[in-house]
Structure 1
């Protein structure tokens, strides 16, 4: 409980542009609004959890159909994984009001490009020297365009839920009626928070950035893990055969709650994430209280950056730290 916050310093210039002034979960400081936002998102995900099993089954089937449609033609699996991961998150967030595939695919590409542009040295330099904003910067200009595309998409989804469902989906638009959004979707749960909820409803900027966080935090990381798993398994045909036998031997189609009876699949996922974590370093965390780490004292205000890659490939723990051994 001593590392619940993130650094409470002002957001760097590019970070402020991307996060609407630090109003997201990743870059925001441990203020009351940030804590309320975090609690609201956790509660909304819990309420929408019942959708996850059928949704993953449907999305997995669509993913397999798209992969088969390419036949023996070359393809970039990461792009396919990215779109279907983004589509899964969109269905969990928006339910029946998920945007059309073409619009969603364009948004998926926007997120990937936004992260790439944000990581450019010409953009990151603004963190240290904000005065550079006075000079022409194509990277920053591109970042602003991508952020505008992202925000336009997210705002459109929020507006669709606030206006209400269309008549053909069981909604009503008579007499200005505005039916409640589906409560078993993440956005429906967030919009359904009233003044009686703990902390009250989220402000529009925090609601907006909560959705952005769920897209960015889940799309690229999951797609990267899937891509690395495929890359590892390409060199291990015997492991592919064992995984297939385990899945075919399961009683009925496996779901999200069946990982306990699929030990080899669970080990394969864990080993992929051990060797190739979504990021080599975790997000910076700020100590809120006096605590200790590894026997060393940590005072409040200390910023800590966990080195995931070093910890997960520590030769003192793993005999072959750089070898894929599920």
Structure 2
């Protein structure tokens, strides 16, 4: 007991010395103002709390998250200055303990630090997403969405927990694009794996390790659970990679995994900034599942929640769909490239993304060389957090920013440059797929059903889960899906065939 107390005292002294040394090194810089305290992560609705601090400190300031000092950017102008105009300076990622663990020591696009090898890894994955599935992506999103609507029709009139249904739908889309397989057993296995991993990773016992790294020297059941979740994840991904290597044919690809495995093979014999390995393909698959399931499912859930609160917008959307596609749920289609035919649907998606960006604080950046923002010095190695939700609620940019008003995007000269997917070199890799899914799923859902509250008329809360970790999650709710026309079922079956 005495030994443990002495060890804790020694570690505390070392941490204090580290902080003092850090302050000494920065003594001659013109740094952003520092917010008092170090328990900001305990604040509910953290993005809104960070935005409120701008009233006294301006859009750029520093604060402490445990032992880590960070700079927070709270406006569109400051975020774009850092992430677009000075993107090279701010392209790094902090190498915190949980990132290293989850990303196989950062052989990862989302969490990996900036390097030429990282750029090659990102290029390969983007090519797989945009080229390897270009001809099949939209038809398969359409078919899987139609199958989803058929399943919902079976439950017509009964309260449905729509978040879980959206989560399974987005997971099935990622499964098919990545592995060429939408079999229910595989989809549910990967869905449960992602859910377990994210829940474990978001737990306070892991978050505190990132803020106070020396605590990893002490027993931590949460860390053991996270390692087990990662082990399960890696086992499932490796099984799929083996299956692909055993059956793929050179020069042909059935899905993204085939494309990336063959891309790694080509890269080995070409000169480049290092060597891409099978481990990079492994982590690309992980990124696609973590970044492409719950994020899109959460945005779809927020859209349904807002439409339940605004039935007049839902009515106008259905009128727009009926004008363009025929009454009820006809067999007509509007392809994504022709989405301008549905301006209100596009505006509604834009407004949901503005109000509820699913990763409201993005992922933290790190400066890889000294830089500046708005006249403040930002030293090398500083962690920088872009408050995307705060930027979307900036009263100097958006009129009545907290109100759900899709029509703001229909006005002449409307500001459409929200930051829901980030910007610059670290913009979300799956943005194009996510936007396609949001368009197709909401189109087909509103074409086939009217969204109604459950019996008793209880509407979902529009306040996020106050302690939701990385993702901005809607609080659990149910919705009734009332079919709009009997002809819908026949049309959907025909489309699926």
Structure 1 and Structure 2 fold alike (TM over 0.5): yes
Show the counterpart of 1:283.
Answer: 363
- State the shift of 1:256 in Å: 2.2
TM-score, normalised to structure 2, is 0.58
User: Following the alignment from structure 2 to structure 1, what is the Cα–Cα distance between the partners of residues 405 and 379?
Assistant: 39
1:69 to 139, 146, 154: 154
| Equivalent runs, 1:300-315 vs 2, <5 Å | 301-315=381-395
Show the counterpart of 2:167.
Answer: 82
Note closer, same or farther for the CA distance 1:258–1:293 as it changes in structure 2 (3 Å cut): farther
- SS state of the match for residue 111, structure 1? helix
Asked if the contact 2:367/2:382 (under 8 Å) is kept, the reply is yes
Q: Which runs of 4+ in 1 moved over 3 A?
A: 4-9, 128-136, 195-201, 286-303
Say if 2:88 is the partner of 1:7: no
| Equivalent runs, 1:260-271 vs 2, <5 Å | 260-271=340-351
Note closer, same or farther for the CA distance 1:104–1:197 as it changes in structure 2 (3 Å cut): farther
- State the shift of 1:34 in Å: 1.2
Q: What does the per-residue CA deviation read over 1:23-53, in whole Å, with 9 as the maximum and x for residues that have no partner?
A: 1112111123212111111121121222111
Say if 2:140 is the partner of 1:55: yes
User: Following the alignment from structure 1 to structure 2, what is the Cα–Cα distance between the partners of residues 106 and 319?
Assistant: 44
Aligned-pair RMSD on alpha carbons? 2.4
Say if 2:177 is the partner of 1:103: no
Note closer, same or farther for the CA distance 1:289–1:258 as it changes in structure 2 (3 Å cut): farther
Say if 2:405 is the partner of 1:325: yes
User: Following the alignment from structure 1 to structure 2, what is the Cα–Cα distance between the partners of residues 320 and 267?
Assistant: 16
User: Following the alignment from structure 2 to structure 1, what is the Cα–Cα distance between the partners of residues 316 and 269?
Assistant: 52
Say if 2:113 is the partner of 1:29: yes
TM-score, normalised to structure 1, is 0.86
- SS state of the match for residue 72, structure 1? coil
Say if 2:290 is the partner of 1:216: yes
User: Following the alignment from structure 2 to structure 1, what is the Cα–Cα distance between the partners of residues 220 and 174?
Assistant: 33
Note closer, same or farther for the CA distance 1:107–1:8 as it changes in structure 2 (3 Å cut): closer
Show the counterpart of 2:128.
Answer: 44
Matched residues, number: 310
- SS state of the match for residue 21, structure 1? coil
Unaligned stretches of 5+ in structure 2? 1-83, 326-331, 407-497
Select the structure that is richer in helix.
1
Asked if the contact 1:275/1:312 (under 8 Å) is kept, the reply is yes
- SS state of the match for residue 304, structure 1? strand
Show the counterpart of 1:126.
Answer: 209
Asked if the contact 1:277/1:308 (under 8 Å) is kept, the reply is yes
Asked if the contact 2:172/2:187 (under 8 Å) is kept, the reply is yes
Greater shift, 213-222 or 124-133, is seen at: 124-133
User: Following the alignment from structure 1 to structure 2, what is the Cα–Cα distance between the partners of residues 92 and 248?
Assistant: 31
Note closer, same or farther for the CA distance 1:318–1:279 as it changes in structure 2 (3 Å cut): same
User: Following the alignment from structure 2 to structure 1, what is the Cα–Cα distance between the partners of residues 176 and 390?
Assistant: 35
Show the counterpart of 1:145.
Answer: 228
- State the shift of 1:57 in Å: 0.8
Note closer, same or farther for the CA distance 1:239–1:206 as it changes in structure 2 (3 Å cut): same
Asked if the contact 1:81/1:227 (under 8 Å) is kept, the reply is yes
User: Following the alignment from structure 1 to structure 2, what is the Cα–Cα distance between the partners of residues 138 and 214?
Assistant: 28
User: Following the alignment from structure 1 to structure 2, what is the Cα–Cα distance between the partners of residues 58 and 180?
Assistant: 28
Asked if the contact 2:92/2:366 (under 8 Å) is kept, the reply is yes
Q: Which has the larger radius of gyration?
A: 2
Q: What does the per-residue CA deviation read over 1:286-305, in whole Å, with 9 as the maximum and x for residues that have no partner?
A: 34567654465656554422
| Equivalent runs, 1:103-252 vs 2, <5 Å | 103-164=186-247, 179-180=249-250, 182-183=252-253, 185-193=255-263, 194=266, 195-196=268-269, 199=272, 202-250=276-324, 252=332
- State the shift of 1:255 in Å: 2.2
Asked if the contact 2:117/2:275 (under 8 Å) is kept, the reply is no
Show the counterpart of 1:171.
Answer: none
Note closer, same or farther for the CA distance 1:51–1:290 as it changes in structure 2 (3 Å cut): farther
Asked if the contact 1:229/1:272 (under 8 Å) is kept, the reply is yes
Asked if the contact 2:307/2:314 (under 8 Å) is kept, the reply is yes
1:316 to 381, 388, 396: 396
- State the shift of 1:223 in Å: 0.4
- State the shift of 1:234 in Å: 0.8
Asked if the contact 1:290/1:297 (under 8 Å) is kept, the reply is yes
User: Following the alignment from structure 1 to structure 2, what is the Cα–Cα distance between the partners of residues 14 and 106?
Assistant: 23
